[in-house]
Structures are given as C-alpha cells and as structure tokens.
Amino acid sequence: MNAATPAGSAGSPGASSIVTIPLNDPGEGLTEAEILEIKVAVGDRVEINAAVVEVETAKSAVELSTHVAGTVVAILVAVGDEVPVGTGLIQVDTAGGPVPSPAPQPAAGHRSADVQPSSPQQISAQPEADPSAEELAAQATAATAVSAEAAPEEPKNLVGYGTQAAPQRRRRRLAEPAQSDDGQQVPIGRILAKPPVRKLARDLGVALHDVLATGPEGTVTRQDVLNAQQRAYGGEVDGDYFPEESPQAPEGLGGAMKSTRDQPFSGVTSDDRTTRVPIRSVRKRTAEAMVASAFTAPHVTVFNEIDMTGAVQIVSQLRASREWTDVKISPLAVIAKALLVAIRRNPEVNASWDEANQEIVYKHYVNLGIAAATPRGLIVPNLKDAHLMTLRELAEGISELARTARAGRTSLRDTRDGTITVTNYGVFDIDSGTPILNPGESAILGVGAIKEKPWVVDGQIVPRQVATLSLSFDHRLIDGALGAELLRDVSAVLEDPSLGLVWG
C-alpha cells in the first residue's frame, strides 16, 4: 500500500493536513482483507514506507505501508475487521504538529455503532493543560467540514488506488461476555494479550474474545488460548500444537505441511453440541477453487505402487555429502525432478484448456506447484520455470517456498500461472489419494508415504522402500494412455534414478 487520500487540498483556505491511508487494490484482484495487526498507535510518528497495518488477503499476510510521513491521529479499523478495498485504515497529520488526545478506541475485533470508520478521530481537548488544543480542535473541525462539503463531488483518485470513500464494511457479531469460574462476567470491551499469544491464537484459529482470561488484570495467557482451543475441538493440547513432521517432508513443507486448524473459533452453541465458524479468507477461496475445478474439468486418477529404494538412497547420500550440508534435501525434490523429466518426454500433458477461445494451450515451460497446508489454509505456490532447474535448485526452491508459506508471506504472484502440481500427503502417513486439480492446471501428482514393505526382486522377497503415486489429470486434455505414460515415466525414474541422466 503506497497511497493516501488527503482530507483537504493543501494550500487552500481551511485545508487540512490530515491524510487518510486507505486499503488499496495492489492490482492483484484484491477485494477485501482482514485486519491482523495494527502496528502503530495514535501519537506515533511514521516515516515514508513505514509498515502501519498487517492484513490477511486470500493467500497470505501482507504488511501495508504509507508513503507519507507524519503523526498518527486516528485508527479507523480494529483487529479482526474484514474491510473492502477503499476503506480508510489510519489518518496521519502530515504537518507534524502536537497530537490531540485520542477518543477511547474500541477493543480489537469490536466497534461501537456510533463510531464511523471513515470520519476523523474525535478530539478530547484540554485547553488548560495544552494551550494549542483549541487550535488543534478547530483544525480537525475545519477538516471535517471540508470533507462534508466535498462529499457530493466525485473523488478524483490515482489509477489503481481504489476509491476514496470507504464502502460500508461488514461488522462482526459481538460476542457475549465470557464467564469466570465464579460466575462473574468478564468484560469483552478490553482484550489484553501479548503479541506471541495473539499469534498463537491466530495460528490455532482461536478468537481472543472467546477466551476466558486468567492472567493478571484479565490478560489472556498462552494456556488460556490452548484451553479455548481444546474446548472447541476436544482432545489433548499442549505447547507443541503442531505434530512432528515426517522425514519425507522438506523443512516444513511437503505437498501438505504440518496439520493445522485454519478456521477461527467463533463459539460453541448453547447446547454444546456444535461449534460455528465463519467461512472466510483462504478456506473460502480454496472451497471456491476446488468446486470450480471439480465441476469444470473431468478428473481421472491413475495409481502406481513403486520401489522408491533407489531414490531414498540418493537422498541419504546427498544429506551426508559435504557439498549439500547447506541444502535441505528430501524425497520431494527427487520426485519433482522425476516429474519434470517425465514431462519432457510427454510434453503434451503440459497444457491448459481455453474455453473462451476454444483452444488448447500447450506450454513450453513448467511452473511446478507445491501444495502446502499452512496455518491459514491450503495454498499452492509454484516454482517458476522449474523445467530449467537442477536438483539442487529444486531443493532450494522448495525450502524457500516452505519458509515463505510458514511465515504467511506467499505472494499472489507465487500462486499464479501454475501448470502442474505435486502434493505430498505422505507426510501425514497416508498411502494414497485422489487429488483435485489446481484450477487451470492439467495434472497433479500425489505422493503417498514411503514405507518399508516386502518386495520381489529377482525372484526373492526382500524389504524395500515402497510408495504409491497417484496422478489426477484433466481428461479433456490428457487421454488415459497419455496419463498412464506420464505416471509410468515418473515411476521409472524414481525406481532407477540413472534414467534421469539418460532422459534428462
């Protein structure tokens, strides 16, 4: 975010130096976002490009900054608000004068009905204590009057910066006050929690206003959040709220990352029989994409159980190699390389269906998607031009996708223009599945858990590392024979990695 909307024109009579910083569309099709964190407070001095608000879009968490410098005089949104593009976020006084005393702010996730998010911050002037307070109050009043007079006029905006007037945004349902063990109500108008506790609540999908606070002065503690999550979902909960990863997964990512709960906890119903949560953010977008894919592209899935011993041995050798000590290498990188080799041998599979133009678009590049389950839901970032990458570059790229996804920093660019995807549900100790195509892609390769099983080798039963591969593809683009050929070639490279040198 790098735009601001002035409340008045500088230099004109009665002009205001107060600038409203709106939520803008960065050109990625953003329509709304949820406020995750407000990084400034009334009275703070901000410089150009300073991060002021963190929001969650359909795919990731994004820090928004301002291109004006000045003093923050108003916070127009609260943590937990879902606001459309064009909504004012904060107001900055670019004159840099004394800061008026702010009116009481609403608690995170709640807003009083009489507070208008698009109006300037109300001023509590104290003339006796501050001789300049009357001037400041007059300035703010003049700014409000100028804004009111200019309201009928159509605002003039820079292209790509959204609308000036913020549309009415949806308001959250106010939760009922929680009750303590002695039956007394705990006020919800003021939620105290340290940043690490707030992050834990977001990761677990727990709304702080539904947590019974037991800390000093009503502070929400880490254990309070864990207790609330346990009540919502049942079962044992401790500090390690994510299970250990499978050795099959690269650092935090493997086609499906650690098991997480991505939905925010809204509240258990009065009869304790159900829990209701809103559908929003990544979960909403995932549902829309999966429904569109399932009912647009006719899916076909083929399976093959293979001997992965050779591929597993290569991974072990590379991990022990001094040249690879700084690289996180996993079977997923080898599987990705095998898929790229197979695509080179069967280039017709790398295509998309253009319904509007009634064309099949064959692509001479591979943007390889890596499906990832993150704390905010399922996303599929892709490695651009993966067909040009060496095994080492693939391993480094997958590790980088993992770090970015875990941090919630996956960009919309990273999730667009994918061609074929790999999803690794083997990290959950699952043997096989029928994955759904990522919209617009031709195929998705599913990788099951690699397990030691009895296998026939040269007429003898011996223990081998075995896994099941599943390939789902769009039957409009790929016939059964071509799909089987692709899966057979992937399997051949993984069973005999030397073929990668011959075919690659």
3-state secondary structure string across 18-36: EEEEECCCCCCCCCEEEEE
d(CA 151, CA 359): 48
pTM exceeds 0.85, yes or no: no
Confidence check: pLDDT of 152 > 90: no
Percentage of the chain surpassing pLDDT 90? 35
CA distances from 441 to 352, 371, 420, 495, 500 (A): 6, 13, 6, 26, 24
Question: What tokens appear for 305 in the block?
Answer: 């159980």
Helix axes 331-345, 391-406, angle to 10 degrees: 120
Interhelix angle 331-345/480-495, nearest 10 degrees? 130
Check residue 370 and give its pLDDT.
94
Looking at residue 373, what is its pLDDT? 79
The residues spanned by each domain of the chain are 5-149, 178-233, 299-503
Helices (H) and strands (E) in the chain, counts: 9, 24
* CA 272/CA 413 separation, integer angstroms: 42
Task: Categorize the per-residue pLDDT at 137 as very low, low, confident or very high, splitting at 50, 70 and 90.
Answer: very low
Domain 299-503 is classified in which CATH homologous superfamily? Chloramphenicol acetyltransferase-like domain (3.30.559.10)
Q: Is the confidence at residue 88, as pLDDT, over 70?
A: yes
In this structure, what token pair is assigned to residue 302? 């083929």
Q: Worst-scoring range by mean pLDDT, 53-67, 85-99, 124-138?
A: 124-138
Q: What is the pLDDT of residue 292?
A: 82
**For residue 15, is pLDDT > 70?**
no
281: confidence class by pLDDT, cuts 50, 70, 90: low
Answer yes or no: is pLDDT of 381 > 60.
yes
Residue 262 φ/ψ region, left for φ over 0, alpha for ψ in the -120 to 50 degree band, beta for the rest:
alpha
Enter the CATH code of domain 178-233.
4.10.320.10
When mean pLDDT is compared over 126-135, 220-229, 265-274, 398-407, the highest value belongs to 398-407
Burial 318-336 (b: 16+ CB within 10 A, else e): beeeeebeebbbbbbbbbb
Most confident of 10-19, 92-101, 183-192, 244-253: 92-101
At the second CATH level, the architecture of 5-149 is Beta Barrel (2.40)
Q: How far is residue 476's CA from residue 442's CA, in Å, rounded to a whole number? A: 9
Please choose, from the candidates 199, 252, 243, 256, the residue with its C-alpha nearest in 3D space to the C-alpha of residue 379.
256
The answer to whether 475 is a known catalytic residue is yes
Cα–Cα distance, 35 to 109 (Å, whole number)? 9
The highest-confidence range among 62-71, 257-266, 299-308, by mean pLDDT, is 299-308
